[in-house]
Amino acid sequence: MNCSERLRNDTKDIHQATERLLIRRLKSISSKHDYINLLKIFHGFFSPIDSAIRNHIDHHRLEDIHDRRNVPKILDDLKVLGCEDRIPVSPLLPRIDSDLRAFGAMYVGEGSTLGGAIIAKMLRDNRFLQDCRHAVSFFDGYRDRTMVMWGKFQSHLNDSFKTDQQQVEIAAAAKETFSKMTALLILN
Residue 11, pLDDT score: 98
Residue 88, pLDDT score: 94
Q: Is 88 left (phi over 0), alpha (psi -120 to 50) or beta?
A: beta
One-letter identity of residue 32: K
The three-class DSSP label of residue 86 is coil
CB 18 within 8 A of CB 172: no
One-letter identity of residue 10: D
Q: How far apart are CA 86 and CA 169, in angstroms?
A: 34
Burial of 127 (0-12, 13-18, 19+ CB in 10 A): exposed
**Residue-level pLDDT, tens digit, the chain, 188 residues:** 999 999 999 999 999 999 999 999 999 999 999 999 999 999 999 999 999 999 999 999 999 999 998 899 999 999 999 998 999 999 999 999 999 999 999 999 999 999 988 999 999 999 888 888 889 999 998 999 999 999 999 999 999 999 999 999 999 999 999 999 999 999 98
Residue 117, pLDDT score: 85
CB 138 within 8 A of CB 70: yes
Residue 177, pLDDT score: 98
CB 42 within 8 A of CB 67: no
Q: How far apart are CA 92 and CA 109, in angstroms?
A: 16
Q: How far apart are CA 9 and CA 2, in angstroms?
A: 11
Tally the residues of the chain.
Answer: 188
Residue 69, pLDDT score: 80
Residue 99, pLDDT score: 97
pTM above 0.85, yes or no: yes
One-letter identity of residue 35: Y
Q: How far apart are CA 56 and CA 150, in angstroms?
A: 20
